[in-house]
Amino acid sequence: MTRKGPDDHAPSDAGDSRIRQPVRVQLANLLEGGREAIIVHNGEEYRLRVTANGKLILTK
């Protein structure tokens, strides 16, 4: 996982260490060659899957 990419922008107050950029994850790395992943949030499982049309769907 990387935190920076070619289209990342610096925060408006770059000196403020409290500002955090979102984590950038390549979908291919997350799915590890598959078409879906289970994401656990607060003990609940969510399914992230890629449709036949290449769209993403997140369901509980």
Q: Which amino acid is at 42?
A: N
What is this structure's pTM? Answer: 0.63
User: What strands, in cross-sheet order, belong to the sheet with 56-59?
Assistant: 36-41, 44-50, 56-59
Give the tens place of pLDDT for each residue, 2-58.
Answer: 454 555 555 555 566 788 999 999 999 999 999 999 999 999 999 999 999 999 999
pLDDT of residue 16: 64
